[in-house]
Amino acid sequence: MRLRALTAACLMTGAAVIAGVLTGAPAGAADIAPKQLVTGWFGYWASDAQVREMAEKSDGVVDEVSMFWWAFNGADEPLCTYDKSDLDGDGLTGECQAASSTPWTNTGFARQRDILQNADIRIQASITDLSSSRAGQLSEYLSTKKNRTAYARQIASWATNAGVDGVDLDMENFAFNDDRDTWAVTKDRWVKFIDVLGETLRQNGLTLSATVPGGWATSSPSTGYWVYAWDEIIDDIDRLIIMAYDYSWNIPGAIGPNDWAERVVQRAITDVGEANAPKIWIGTPQYGRNWIRVADGKPVTVGNCPNSWTPDASQTRITVTPASALDVAAREGVEPTWNPTQGEWSFRYNRKTAGTANGKGRECTVQREVWFADTRSALARATLVPNNGIGGIAVWNFGNVQSDFYPRLAEYGRKIAPAPLDLSVSVNKRTTYGGKTKITIKAGSAKGAPAGAKVTIRWAPGTTKDQTAQQAGASIVDTTTLGDAGQVTLRIPVTETGRFWVDVAATSQTASKQSGANVNRVTWRITKDVKTVTTQVRQPVQLSAQVTPGSKDVNVRLQRQGADRKWKTVKTVATDAQGVVQTRISATKPKELRVRFVAVSSQGFASGRTAAITVNVVKG
């Protein structure tokens, strides 16, 4: 929750491994692409090696990264690029870079952008205002429509020129350095700016994220930081990224306790609505703090130490990475303890620490307490994603993650990702008018059958197969659910030739899927008036049949079966206005004839036929 600039410089070190538990993904799930549930930040100080590690090991679980790229540097320079590559040669990085022909980027950022994008990881340029010396200035700058519009256009132009995929606004001075009395005015300016910036970026094919602090007041709008107006900006942004860390600041405690983070998530959903829950990304720390313990307002010391002793300010609270925290634990011979409620590790130890007593320098042994978050912490945080239907977790910062971070998050991403569905649909090719066509549906996946999945049957007239149900304007004709084996059979009444599409809805384990078009041709229904008839030699016998739906001038063939059992047309007659056809047949010698009526394909109906009629011809 605190200003990240206060700790960023301490978070530039490597990673180490710490044990944790993750239930293995189901058999066959290794072939499933992980849910892209991880986003987060690299500082401008990130090394190529750290960025490349993500590109090579994240295995699809990271879909987007924000990098500290630009800063608000006052009204005269509302956008400047961090000097990542020491272009001015002063040996320093992190300040606004010197004037260049490409003020929106430098070689360092461009190189790391390419590494990420070549790995299909989107990159956003973060805009920060992390200097407390700029308190109040951003709000004042955004006070006019002219400035808001100009700023939005500049940001969109720089983002396009820099080749990034979107923009992340990480404006923290509102919360941590501006007077709270200014919030009402700032809130109005902020909401209006987000509105114009979001629209301008969308017009340029770019996305917008808003990074906002999470607060203790989870029963209040925006968890107490109401200046950011989560509910008012949500429609204009693509992601609401909530910094759920720095919960403990002055005294030892969890950095971003998981139970608190879940309350933050639930408050955010209350504010923005369940429909917008996928836009919510919850912050996940990958760092820690090493504090001197305090009791009754005084440091907890061990052994002889004057009551007036105070530690050096630099020793009161030290930022650590997972790796450096483990190094301290190993040095002190202590074993970190996992707290399942907080989702973090902690340990205590005693250490001599520099300080002052009665105006003189003196060392005292103090009790220190360390809390830190690591890969296991991130996995604990990631459970909030499926449990609450949010977009994912946002890591501060990727430069600190351990070597097992990406593979284990990818494994979890596979566990919660919906498996692609194997869908088989069988539809009768022909159905008699007024009858029911049989549709058999079978579905399965690497995670098993999607038992209970909702099935929607859509239908549209025609026989074209290369259209989706949406393209064909298909309408819903039935719904059902899949059985335990992922199968179901339906029978749908039909009166017209058309196409069926089957939609199987997503479940917690399987993705949704729509079948292709399955053509069902409806045939004429034609019924004979008799099964068997007897007549004498040379005595014509009248036969008739009814074509349904009743229609005039439907050509009907009278066919006779030969000795070779093949059917040959004897004559063709047309139906009357009621769909009735009549004809006569005779034979010159005694025999048994087998005949049938066949209604020819026409008027949108496929051909239909009667069963055979037996005509017994006897001597007169």
Nearest partner of 396 among 190, 183, 130, judged by Cα: 130
Half-sphere exposure of 315 (CA within 13 A, CB side): 19
Sign of CA dihedral 146, 150, 151, 153: positive
487 backbone φψ class: left, alpha, beta (φ>0; ψ -120 to 50): beta
Report how far residue 391's alpha carbon sits from residue 276's, in angstroms, rounded to the nearest whole number: 9
Please say whether the beta carbons of 352 and 362 come within 8 A.
Answer: no
DSSP assignment of 174-235, as one string? HHHTS-GGGHHHHHHHHHHHHHHHHHHHHHTT-EEEEEEE--S-TTSGGGG-GGG-HHHHGG
For residue 31, is pLDDT > 80? no
Please say whether the beta carbons of 541 and 513 come within 8 A.
Answer: no
- Asked if domains 422-523 and 525-618 share a fold, the reply is yes
DSSP assignment of 541-569, as one string? EEEEEEEES--TT-EEEEEEE-TTS-EEE
Helix locations, 372-404, DSSP H: 375-382, 384-388
For residue 17, is pLDDT > 90? no
- The model's pLDDT over 482-502, given as tens digits with 9 standing for 90+, comes to 999 999 999 999 999 999 999
Q: Between 314 and 25, where is the model more confident? A: 314
For the segment 57-85, the average pLDDT, to the nearest whole number, is 95
pLDDT the model gives residue 91: 74
Q: Between 25 and 608, where is the model more confident? A: 608
499 pairs with which residues across the strands? Answer: 460, 519
366 pairs with which residues across the strands? Answer: 301, 351
Give kind and range of the element (H or E) at residue 386: helix 384-388
Q: What does DSSP assign to residue 275?
A: G
pLDDT the model gives residue 30: 60
Please say whether the beta carbons of 293 and 345 come within 8 A.
Answer: no
Report how far residue 593's alpha carbon sits from residue 535's, in angstroms, rounded to the nearest whole number: 11
Token pair belonging to 255:
């950095």
Q: Helix or strand or coil: residue 87?
A: coil
The region of weakest confidence among 189-193, 247-251, 265-269, 477-481 is 247-251
pLDDT the model gives residue 24: 38
- The model's pLDDT over 113-164, given as tens digits with 9 standing for 90+, comes to 999 999 999 999 999 998 889 999 999 999 999 999 999 999 999 999 999 9
Residue with token string 């009402």: 184
Rg (CA), the chain: 37
CB-based contacts of 500, cutoff 8 Å, min separation 6:
425, 427, 437, 439, 457, 458, 459, 492, 517, 518, 520
CB-based contacts of 593, cutoff 8 Å, min separation 6:
560, 585, 587, 614, 615, 616, 617
Report how far residue 159's alpha carbon sits from residue 136's, in angstroms, rounded to the nearest whole number: 25
Q: Which CATH superfamily is domain 525-618 in?
A: Immunoglobulins (2.60.40.10)
Sheet containing 580-585: give its strands across: 525-528, 541-548, 580-585
Mind spelling out the 3-state secondary structure of 57-84?
HCCCCECEEEEEEEECCCCCCCCEEECC
Residue with token string 């994912």: 392
Mind spelling out the 3-state secondary structure of 228-265?
HCHHHHHHHCCEEEEECCCCCCCCCCCCCCHHHHHHHH
pLDDT the model gives residue 84: 87
Q: Helix or strand or coil: residue 459?
A: strand
Report how far residue 316's alpha carbon sits from residue 331's, in angstroms, rounded to the nearest whole number: 19
CATH architecture, domain defined by 36-287+373-416: Alpha-Beta Barrel (3.20)
For the segment 26-32, the average pLDDT, to the nearest whole number, is 58
Domain residues of the chain, as ranges?
36-287+373-416, 422-523, 525-618
Sign of CA dihedral 265, 165, 151, 104: positive
Please say whether the beta carbons of 294 and 353 come within 8 A.
Answer: no
pLDDT the model gives residue 14: 35
Residue with token string 């059917």: 567
Report how far residue 129's alpha carbon sits from residue 11's, in angstroms, rounded to the nearest whole number: 18
DSSP assignment of 304-331, as one string? S--TT-EE-HHHHEEEE-HHHHHHHHHH
Please say whether the beta carbons of 96 and 73 come within 8 A.
Answer: yes
pLDDT the model gives residue 131: 85
Give kind and range of the element (H or E) at residue 14: none
For residue 29, is pLDDT > 60? no
For the segment 227-248, the average pLDDT, to the nearest whole number, is 97
CB-based contacts of 566, cutoff 8 Å, min separation 6:
none
pLDDT the model gives residue 13: 36
Please say whether the beta carbons of 196 and 243 come within 8 A.
Answer: no
Is 3.20.20.140 the CATH classification of the domain at 422-523? no
pTM: 0.80
Q: What does DSSP assign to residue 398?
A: G
